[in-house]
A and B are shown apart, each in its own frame.
Chain A
């Protein structure tokens, strides 16, 4: 089974802090994604990566950056956390070929509160 692990389930931070959210997958997937999930808005894509050191902006990248130094790890960085970044953050990974082509597998999520 594919396993996508997010480092924290719950996180409380203060406005202005630098926040790191970590995601690790164990299936050697090329593609990795960061979403935020808010009530009534569904999942919105922040950033994705299709290879080590490669990244692409999603639909709402403002206020976020990412890092992918190793294939299995994709980090989301909030350079200066703000209260409007309080949300559930979901990481996902997928493989671009084979029978499970582009099915995304998700981590359990990190619920971030910025005070």
Chain B
């Protein structure tokens, strides 16, 4: 059974802090790892990682994948209150091309002014 575990489950920081969110996985036939941000609405896509060691970056957010150690991290620098959200990690695995994802529990990030 494919498994994705995120840590911490929740995190409270102040504006300006840097945070690191973790995602580890145990899956058969890994294809890709995706990060999403969910505010009080639809999860929105952040990054997709398929190759180990390559950093994806968008503004203050960045992510890297370690396929050997089976984990990914999502970094947010200089946090803002607008970064408060649930961050979801998901892994695509298996032998089909249906794009089925297995999600972690999510990390609830709260950024105080």
Contact = CB atoms under 8 A, between A and B. Distances in A.
A114 interface: no
Contacts of A41: 105
Contacts of B99: 31, 94, 96, 101-102, 104
A50 interface: yes
Interface residues of B, number: 26
* Consensus secondary structure, chain A interface: strand
Interface string B37-51: 000011111001000
Interface string A37-64: 0001111110010100000101000000
A45 B100 contact: yes
Contacts, number: 60
B7 interface: no
B41 to A, nearest CB: 5
A48 B42 contact: no
Residue of B90, B92, B101 with highest tally of chain A CB at under 10 A: B101
Given A42-B6, A96-B98, A106-B44, 10 more contacts: A40-B9, A40-B105, A42-B4, A42-B88, A42-B105, A48-B100, A96-B97, A102-B99, A104-B90, A107-B42
Interface of B: 4, 6, 9, 31-32, 34, 36, 41-45, 48, 88, 90, 92, 97-106
